[in-house]
Structure 1
Amino acid sequence: MNDHPPVETPRRPPFVHDGAFRFGRFPEDVQTPPAPVRPSPSRRPCAARGGASRPRETPPPPPPPGRGGRRARVKDSRKGRRPDRRAAGDRAAAGGPSPSAGVLVADSHGPYRNILPEELDRRARLIRGKPREPGMLAGLQTGVQMAMFVGYHARAGTGGAVLAHTIADAVLGVRINGRSHGEIGINTLPAGSYGVPVVLVSGDAAACEEFGALVPRAVTVPVKRGLGRYAADTLHPQEARERLRRGAAQAVRRHATDPPVLVSSPLRVEVDLHRPRPADLAVLVPGVTRSGRTVAFDAETMAAAYGVLRLIVLLTQAGP
């Protein structure tokens, strides 16, 4: 019997938005006994190889349930991320615009169920799970005063960046009114349409540089330097959390001087896709046109553009 607690099947008042790891199913949750290994029949000596072939070796037994393997790595990865959100949330609440200010945390990566609720500060509220409106930005429409993006990455194609992508690997690039944006810009612009300034971004150095080009006065907290898609030079976790606390406190103090980022209407949105099938499907959406692997559409508001863009990304996951 497996005595270990089950793990959820996988697939941010101030607003702390979480973006970070992708989980699949845990094969260790189902323990299937290994098939018996039949003894290898005796064979004649092989003259061409100079002797008898060796008998098959018995494979090693599987690891005990709940120890090591992907299940443990998933648990550890969730532990590794949640103190970063708490560090930013603690300082946002402590230095908020009023003593009664709260923090709204939006779990917004992968299945949107990565953060362990019991590990958050008691003053925080947590939005988790999907689908939901408006996607990653759920909570911004409720009247929050500022937003912080924690655990972010650079846009697709960025060199020297950890896990650089734009929403999904099937998306090669997104342009809004001719300017290229990754998830940082794609989420900052709708936040501006709700009247919410993004006052802090944390992630690797490339992500912070990308946000700095969009909002030069905002606070950035780089906690690692990308050496490649899956390699980084990182700070010690305690040092990273302390820098996040200081950065969040600074961002809260000066948020009144950081206006929301607005974009002029009408909007022209272009999406470069990796494969032809999503482009074939995207043109079924009214108003979407196609030129090669690029689909495009017009929108009157950033909120409307955000919704159509999310739908196109969902279509990249439809079928073979």
Structure 2
Amino acid sequence: MKVLISVDMEGISGIVHPSETNPDRYDYERGRVLMTAEANAVIAGVLDAEPSAVVWVADAHGPFRNLLPEELDRRAHLVRGKPRPLGMLGGLDEDTDAVLLVGYHARAGGGPAVLAHTMSGEILDVRVGGRSLGEIGLNAAMAGHLGVPVVLLSGDDTACAELRDLVPSAVTVAVKQALGQAAAVAPHPAEVRERLRRAAADAISRRATVPPLTIDGPLDVEVDLYSPVTVDLATLVPGVSRAEGGRTVAFTAAGFADAYRLVLLLVQLATIKPA
């Protein structure tokens, strides 16, 4: 069997501040160590349950170059760098049997939640068929589009509740309790890693009981953008139009894969600044 572990950073236990997740800030190297250790705990749990599993690990935070390759469990394959197909789910395909989301955070507007946002600070909200989806929902639905269930998520308590609302039978591990956007209370990292290893084994063992999250098309999608310049750029994309309110763009996607890829494009357009 093939398993994909997508690892973000804001939902790692002990991390509460951008200085721990930003490569240009002083505490980032410590954040990388914590992130890699939690990824290793989940890899170990997957292989406890299925020793013959092929495990792919997608580095899914920021530049997609955060996990320490030399410290990662040598039994795993590391998907690293960007741009790449399917972004945070790099390595996902129809042959994947299960996805595990590690270190994930709540959507923009969710809270209290540690470092909550959706894809970037430039994306204020993504609504698919009228339902607000953050990175958790977008990635779970993209996996579901290929028939793959998300069987586990770790992050703060708000992130865990977000997945349970979408996939009630998935395993969730609250590695910290959010007190606000930049504050939380958490157990010792070693305790968290033990919990993650047990939970990953449990999730893989009962993956057949977790259905994929499917959102059938065609889909009306609205994206609220922070910058008016990004709105201007987005309307250059065929099929994308300016909606009411000045900061919202809208489009119709034939299926979820098209919606997902266009949202990824909007995230990249948001990095372009006026000349």
Q: What's the TM-score, normalizing by structure 2?
A: 0.92
CA distance in 2, matches of 1:92, 1:81: 17
> Which of 92, 99, 122 pairs up with 2:46?
92
> Which letter does structure 1 place at the counterpart of 2:171?
V
One-letter amino acid matched to 2:255: T
Q: Secondary structure at the match of 2:97?
A: coil
Aligned: 1:303 with 2:257: yes
Cα deviation, 1:72-110, whole Å, max 9, x if unaligned, reads: x222221111111110111112212xx421211000101
Q: CA deviation at 1:112?
A: 0.4
Q: Deviations 1:186-205 (Å, cap 9, x if unpaired)?
A: 11101011111000000000
Give the aligned partner of residue 7 of structure 2: 18
Bigger share in strand: 2
| Alignment match, 1:233 | 185
Contact 2:218–2:254 under 8 Å retained in 1: yes
User: What residue is the counterpart of 2:13 in the other structure?
Assistant: none
Please state if 1:216 is matched with 2:168.
yes
2:148 to 196, 205, 220: 196
Secondary structure of the corresponding residue to residue 196 of structure 2: helix
TM-score scaled to structure 1, two decimals? 0.79
- Give me the CA root mean square deviation: 1.3
Structure 2 Cα separation of the partners of residues 261 and 227 of structure 1: 29
Paired letter, 2:207 = H
Contact 2:4–2:99 at 8 Å: present in 1 too?
yes
1:182 aligns with 2:139: no
Deviation, structure 1 residue 22: 3.7
Unaligned runs of 5+ in 2: 10-19
Contact 2:21 2:28 in 1 (8 A): no
User: Considering only CA atoms, is the larger Rg found in Structure 1 or Structure 2?
Assistant: 1
Given that residues 14 and 93 in structure 1 are in contact (C-alpha distance below 8 angstroms), is that contact kept between their aligned partners in structure 2?
A: no
Rounded to whole Å, the distance in 2 between the matches of 1:173 and 1:300 is: 20
Is 1:127 paired with 2:79?
yes
Q: Over residues 243-288 of structure 1, what are the superposed CA-to-partner deviations in whole Å (9 max), with x where a residue is unaligned?
A: 1111111101110111211111101111011121111110000000
Paired position in structure 2 for 1:10:
none
Deviations 1:168-189 (A, max 9, x none): 1111111111111110001110
Amino acid at match of 2:262: V
Corresponding residue of 1:76: 30
> Aligned ranges for residues 1-320 of structure 1 at < 5 Å?
13-20=2-9, 22-25=21-24, 70=26, 73-96=27-50, 99-141=51-93, 143-291=95-243, 292-320=246-274
Partner amino acid for 1:108?
A
Q: CA deviation at 1:133?
A: 0.7
1:142 deviation in Å?
5.9
> How far apart are residue 134 of structure 1 and its match?
1.6
Q: CA deviation at 1:24?
A: 3.9
Secondary structure in structure 2 of the residue aligned to 1:104: strand
